[in-house]
Amino acid sequence: MAHRRQEDISRREMLAGLASSAAVVGLPLAEGSAADAPPQRKLKVLVAGAHPDDPELSAGGTIARYTDLGHEVVCLYLTRGEVGKLNEPKTPEETGKIRSAECEKACVILKARPLFAGQVDASTEVNSERCAAFLKLIDAVKPDVVFTHWPIDPHRDHRTTSLLVYDAWFKAAKKFELFYFEVKAGPQTQLFRPTLYVDITTTEDRKKQACFVHSHGEQVYTGWTDLMNRFRGLECRCKFAEAFVHLPRGAADSLP
């Protein structure tokens, strides 16, 4: 079969691919792929992760692609990583402050805006109050596109984040496009079958820089993220890529 470059895949094909859940390559809703092309319409993109580093590890290259094109990206952190391991022992409050500062630094590198949802690491909850508060947060951002955790993941905080976003998607009458991302494929993200690839070859270096400002970021990046970026790149014929699963808006309404 003849080799097809990413540029050969038209926007029409990309949207058709999204509708049918077939795997395609492209940046959701963003017109054009050149970094110097002005955006047709400024998009609001929200990347929701459970902990400091989850948005960056999972979608850092995609975030930089959006912001390079002039779109607005908000990195939403459900928690401040209060119980994450640091090199020296700290209280949960001290750890939360250190890790929040890491998020701020990572967002500067990616030209994104950090936002914190106020839950606590390892004690995250899904209940009617939490769902209402999360919906309020999403409503205030008014995103066109949301990326969040794939729900089949042994980490409870990841599942919580995924469920809160899914609940808000329904409550907001599916006003935004919903995409799931992968974190550590294998020990965390499981049974993940991408429907969309984003070529991050031009932004991988900034993704790496953003991940490295986090505690243990280098260890996680070299142990998992780098391999995943390269493997997803092989799958869609580029050097580095990030992979996502798009949830079609009509999925709940149609018979198989």
- Give the footprint of Zn ion on this chain (CB under 5 A): 50-51, 54
| Token pair 């070299």: residue | 222
In the complex, the smallest distance separating the C-beta of residue 61 from Zn ion, rounded to whole angstroms, is: 18
Q: Which is nearer to Zn ion, 54 or 204 (CB)?
A: 54
Q: Which is nearer to Zn ion, 24 or 183 (CB)?
A: 183
In the complex, the smallest distance separating the C-beta of residue 148 from Zn ion, rounded to whole angstroms, is: 12
Q: Which is nearer to Zn ion, 144 or 153 (CB)?
A: 153
Token pair of 165 as six digits: 């976003």
In the complex, the smallest distance separating the C-beta of residue 53 from Zn ion, rounded to whole angstroms, is: 7
Report the SS3 class of residue 39: coil
E strands, 99-162, are 113-119, 145-149
Distance CA 44, CA 27 (A): 13
Distance CA 256, CA 248 (A): 13
> How far, in Å, are 9, 94, 96, 147 from residue 100 at the CA level?
39, 10, 6, 20
Q: Which is nearer to Zn ion, 54 or 242 (CB)?
A: 54
| Closest residue to Zn ion: CB criterion | 51
Closest CA to 59 of 7, 9, 112, 6: 112
In the complex, the smallest distance separating the C-beta of residue 250 from Zn ion, rounded to whole angstroms, is: 30
Cβ contact 144:42 at 8 Å: no
In the complex, the smallest distance separating the C-beta of residue 130 from Zn ion, rounded to whole angstroms, is: 18
Q: Which is nearer to Zn ion, 51 or 214 (CB)?
A: 51
Cβ contact 82:91 at 8 Å: no
In the complex, the smallest distance separating the C-beta of residue 51 from Zn ion, rounded to whole angstroms, is: 4
Q: Which is nearer to Zn ion, 24 or 163 (CB)?
A: 163
Closest CA to 196 of 183, 208, 207, 180: 180
In the complex, the smallest distance separating the C-beta of residue 197 from Zn ion, rounded to whole angstroms, is: 22
Q: Which is nearer to Zn ion, 157 or 199 (CB)?
A: 157
Closest CA to 149 of 57, 212, 250, 82: 57
Distance CA 218, CA 150 (A): 23
Closest CA to 79 of 129, 128, 44, 114: 114
